[in-house]
Structure 1
Amino acid sequence: MLKWLAKRVGFSIITIIITIMISWALIEYSPESPANFINSVLPPNSIAGKPTLRLELEQYLMTLKPHGNPLIDSLQYLWQVLHGNLGIDIISQVPVTTIIAQALPWTVFIVTTSILISYFLGIRLGMKIGYKRGTKVDSSLMSLFTVTRSIPVYISGALLLFFLGFELGWFPTGGAFSINVTPGFNIPFILSVIKHAFLPILTLTLANLAGWVLHMRANTIYTLGEDYVSFAEIRGINSNNIETKYVGRNAILPLYTSLIYTIGFSFGGSIFVEEIFSYPGVGHLLYNAIQYNDYPLEMGIFIILIASVVVGILLADLTYSLLDPRVKVGE
């Protein structure tokens, strides 16, 4: 048990380290690195005859350029990361950790809320649809969720913003809260946060709901063919108990690991939603960082995404046995 646990944790740490080093090297040594980008867009005549400005610019560019061996440079960057130093944001000259710390709670709020709502609602709907397989309800809802799943998240987000935000004016069209409320643990601020987050959460919920429903329906239909379900029906057990205790409990198991993975990957997928609704989360930060070639901020967000995915997979491995007693940790 302990040996297996140490092995899994060790593999996760190694995965995070290697991925960070590769990501850093790809950004730092690319033709579009910050130093090369500044040189390409800066007119040569803008610093002609200005030796002081030219010297300051050259000194600044030297801080952006890597030196020496790429492996040593990446290890030095990793050492800084392990000490909580993600660098200084090129645009605002503020520590990257400070910027991410301000944006991360907003992304965590909309991502986790939308995933939990879509997960439990999708599980319940998928179980009901699968249990009523072959009926008109099954065929109509299957068609609806199949179409819904094929709609890109930025299309559904733009439509919700246009109709519910601009046309009807029911919800705000940007920001995390109203400027006329005082931030803090008070009712006006909480209501303002919920109102501003409603459309982003609704967009992410609709994007994930169809997948959970279709997946749960397929698992339910598969589980209905098991011998223990047929035996329970022969014994005359109540259909509701069969649906929840016999079918639902076993059909939900494969979706548990998908839930953990989805939470990790959704931090990266929120970039479209946050940009559409001008929501000040990590996705909005990443969009601006890529647009302005702000590589310290890019790397800081990449580290968050990498860690969330790897830690999510590790937690899924460690906790799956709690749901399924047939699976033992370490086997």
Structure 2
Amino acid sequence: MNYKWLIRRLASVIIAMFVTIVISWALLEYSPYSPANYIMQFINPQDFAQKPGLYSSLIQYLNTLRPHGNPLINAVNYINNVIHGNLGLSIVSDVPVAQIIAAALPWTLFIVTTSILISFFLGIRIGQKLAYIRGSKTDSITTVSLSILRAVPIYVYAALLVFVLGFVYHVFPTGGAYSPNVTPGLNLAFIISVLYHAFLPILSLTLVNLVGWILHMRANTISVLGEDFVNFAEIAGVKKSIIEKKFIGKNAILPLYTSLIIAIGFSFGGSLFVEQTFSYPGVGDLLITAITSNDYPTEMGVFIILIAAVIIGNLIADLTYSFLDPRAKVGEE
């Protein structure tokens, strides 16, 4: 491994995190519509420390993030707080934002990771099969249909599923992460309830991601089928199953690996609509609630999670790709 490249890559990740967090913080913190700016129009900031009750959490929030009038100093103070795990207090509940996110994050990780893995493995199998029958009527109809379905927004899938399977036929619950009648913990009743409530959110995310994986795998497989080493293997009499698995499948999947890791990060954003539709208590639902209630500390905390998921996903993909494809050396220009 090229350690100079690794140091440069880690430095770029830190800089990217820093810049995006500062920009996001500035857009929210100094927005004309932020609760902080609204209240500061009517109340002298010097009197904040003497205001109890209704403004207690907002006061602590302002004292933490705006101890100075200089925006640059305030930004540095905020980054310092983030590094030490201090994301401030929720204006609505007066609870540390880090604690709120820690309670919501596992639910989002569960539905996002599960849906990505299911859609990925199904997608590569279906896409590979479509590539083998390329040019046929079945392939043409399927490809056109998938292209149309790919243009459907994720919230449409979620709304249709919750309406049909939730409200019309009452097959699945329409909200929550588990039944209030079960005791949380490592017991069978709780696990079944969690899977039951997560089925529709996972299905919504899976349907959206599945279409993309099928089309990408089909295109990659068709490209590999035209390579000389595949033709040579066929001429040499290598078994068809071995050609499909080791020669075609492996080389067609490799370009999708980076997309898989990055997709996990970006799926956090897609889960926002799904969790809101199904009232699923993840970070997406938390973000919507924070936006509607002008809970800016919580908004920033969720933004940081989304930013970190995408940037770290890119880093993991860069660092691990060479283990799957020895031809790609980490750090080579």
Under TM normalisation by the shorter chain, which class is it? over 0.9
Residues 30 and 37 in structure 2, CA contact (< 8 A), matched pair in contact too: no
8 A contact 1:88–1:95 mirrored in 2: yes
User: How many Å separate the matches in 2 of 1:103 and 1:288?
Assistant: 12
Give the Cα–Cα distance (whole angstroms) in 2 for the partners of residues 186 and 228 of structure 1: 52
Q: Do 1:149 and 1:211's aligned partners in 2 also have CA atoms closer than 8 Å?
A: yes
Is 1:17 paired with 2:18?
A: yes
- Between the aligned partners of 1:64 and 1:86, the Cα distance in structure 2 is 9
1:309 aligned residue: 310
Partner of 2:181: 180
Moved more, 213-222 or 195-204: 213-222
Cross-structure match for 1:113? 114
2:7 paired residue number: 6
Partner of 1:300: 301
Cα shift at 1:256: 0.6
> What CA distance in whole angstroms lies between the structure 2 residues aligned with 1:64 and 1:85?
11
2:81 paired residue number:
80
Conservation of the 8 A alpha-carbon contact between 2:61 and 2:89:
no
Identify which range, 253-262 or 141-150, moves more after superposition: 141-150
* Equivalent in the alignment of 1:278: 279
Q: Which runs of 5+ in 2 are unaligned?
A: none
After superposition, the C-alpha distances for 1:215-240 in whole angstroms (9 at most, x for unaligned) are 11111111111111111121222222
Match of 1:328 in 2: 329
**TM-score, scaled relative to structure 1:** 0.92
Q: How many residues align?
A: 322
Deviation, structure 1 residue 58: 8.0
SS of equivalent residue, structure 1 residue 32? coil
Give the conservation status (yes or no) of the 8 Å contact 2:81–2:87. yes
Report the AA paired with residue 212 of structure 1. Answer: W
Change (3 A) 1:233 1:3: same
Residue 62 of structure 1: how far off its partner (Å): 5.7
User: Which secondary structure does the structure 1 equivalent of 2:181 belong to?
Assistant: coil
Amino acid at match of 2:239: N
* Residue of structure 2 in register with 1:289 after alignment: 290
Q: Is the 8 A contact 1:110 1:200 kept in 2?
A: yes
Q: Does the 8 A contact of 2:182 with 2:190 survive in 1?
A: yes
CA 1:214–1:28: 2 relative to 1, 3 Å: same
CA contact (8 A) 2:127 2:218 kept: yes
Name 1:225's counterpart in structure 2. Answer: 226
Cα deviation for residue 59 of structure 1 reads 8.0
SS state at 1:252 partner: helix
Taking structure 2 as the reference length, the TM-score comes to: 0.92
State the shift of 1:292 in Å.
1.2
Structure 1 residues 281, 60: CA separation in 2 closer, same or farther (over 3 Å shift)? Answer: closer
Are 1:127 and 2:132 an aligned pair? no
C-alpha contact 1:260 1:315 (8 A) present in aligned 2: yes
Structure 1 counterpart of 2:238: 237
Matched, 1:156 2:157: yes
Shift of residue 55 of structure 1?
5.0
Distance 1:259 1:27 in 2: 31
Q: How many angstroms does 1:34 deviate by?
A: 1.6
Moved more, 229-238 or 285-294: 229-238
User: In 2 relative to 1, CA 61–111 (structure 1 residues): closer, same or farther, beyond 3 Å?
Assistant: closer
RMSD over equivalenced CA pairs, Å? 2.1
Report if aligned partners of 2:29, 2:36 keep a CA contact under 8 Å in 1. no
**Contact 1:34 1:64 (8 Å CA) reproduced:** no
Paired residues of 2:175 and 2:279 also in contact (CA < 8 A): yes
Which residue of the partner structure matches residue 199 of structure 1? Answer: 200
- Tell me the equivalent position of 2:144: 143
Q: 1:308 to 1:60 in 2, by over 3 A?
A: closer
- Deviation of 1:61 after TM superposition, in Å, equals 6.2
> What amino acid does structure 1 have at the position aligned with 2:236?
R
Letter in 1 for 2:186: F
